[in-house]
Structure 1
Amino acid sequence: MGPWTETDYLALGDSQDRIELLDGALIVSPAPSRRHQRVARRLANAVELAAEPVGLLVYDAINVRLGSDRIVIPDLVVTDADDDGVVLSAERVTLVGEIVSPGNAAADRLVKMQLYAIARIPFYLLVEQDGDSHSLRLHRLDGGHYVEDAVAKAGETLSVTEPFRWAMDPAALR
């Protein structure tokens, strides 16, 4: 079957796989590793402490509509939307985050970064994994592309004031 539409995609229902829709094609990935999920949870918990006081909500692994027949499932989403919808529109997303794994490095660093910029999501956070060490790279939308705004390796602190005040040592993700 194909090309797939958003209606077809949503008709799939729940799955243990991570299924994304990109321009009519389904991209199927197995559920992330336990390590990936642990890092995602710790990251979401840390971001939530900073985002909630300014009225933003934090989610992990939710459907985000980037455009017509483009739905992705980022590792982290910060939004002002407080509803029970199945798909969140990119216009409501303040920050999106991806945890880079060896199997998806090119997609997260290039493809998704470009798609998020096209969708005009203001901030993109990349969590790089190198063995047991992590680094954080916050990118800010500048025109039609992202520029690196702040970087921290394990043992350093990523400190940002936008889109909310937040500081974190990537070592806390271990």
Structure 2
Amino acid sequence: MSVVTADDADVHRGSPPKRGEWTVDDLARTPEDGVRRELFNGELIVSPAPILLHQRAALAIRDALQAACPPDLEVFVAPVDYEIALDTSFQPDVVVLRRADIDILDGVVRKPAVVVVEVLSKSTRKFDLEDKPKAYGNSGVERHWTFDPLTAHFVARRWLGAKYAEVAEARGEQRIRLDEPYPVEICPAEIING
């Protein structure tokens, strides 16, 4: 399976927008049915449900981040709508936010995240590695991390004004310590094992 763009009436109450003309308001009017929908430059992106290994990895990363999280920050797992622009809204697998930027009743994040983490899957790999990073960086997200559960590969990147640059990497049993945005240890093998 792969990520697909969609524009049919089944995912939108009433007449759907034309392809490439979706907005976050249109996205908000789609049914709350558990289907993962994201927007990228006005295109509706519909992704299949992730495999259980993906879910285990996302929760393990969340747990590692949460265990060390300072009180002014908070860690969330998808689905969290992160609205980057009127025509772009992503759902990072794990996201660290400033508590001051959270409206807990709204459910939508509009201020730059401290860290976004994408757990890679076959269906979203290209989207997560090629399309999302530049949009995240341009929206003010300084840290973009990826984890591939099939290869036990973790990469931490930092925004340098025009692109993300790798600052740390670990595979398998390797253990790394990241000091930004706060000290946390990551071991890919432990993430896979939950």
Maintained 8 Å contact 1:16/1:30: no
Maintained 8 Å contact 1:64/1:72: yes
Higher relative contact order (CA 8 A, sep 6+): 2
Name the structure with the higher helix share.
1
The structure 1 segments of at least 4 consecutive aligned residues displaced by more than 6 Å after TM superposition are: none
Please point out which of 134, 138, 142 is paired with 1:122: 142
Shift, 1:32, TM fit: 1.4
Per-residue CA deviations over 1:11-59 (Å, capped at 9, x if unaligned) read 11422210011222211112211221111111111111112x2521001
Q: Give aligned-pair identity as a percent.
A: 27
Name the structure with the higher strand share.
1
Q: Are 2:72 and 1:55 equivalent residues in the alignment? A: yes
Residue type of the partner of 2:108? Answer: V
TM-score by length of 1: 0.91
2:33 and 2:162 map into 1 onto residues whose CA distance is 33
Q: Are 2:92 and 1:71 equivalent residues in the alignment? A: no
Unaligned runs of 5+ in 1: none
The more displaced of 56-65 and 73-82 is 73-82
2:153 and 2:184 map into 1 onto residues whose CA distance is 15
* Greater C-alpha radius of gyration: 2
Partner in structure 2 of residue 19 of structure 1:
37
Q: What pairs up with 1:1-174 in 2 under 5 angstroms?
A: 1-2=16-17, 3-51=21-69, 53-61=70-78, 62-81=80-99, 82=102, 83-91=104-112, 93-130=113-150, 133-174=151-192
The count of residues paired between Structure 1 and Structure 2 equals 170
Residue type of the partner of 2:156? Answer: L
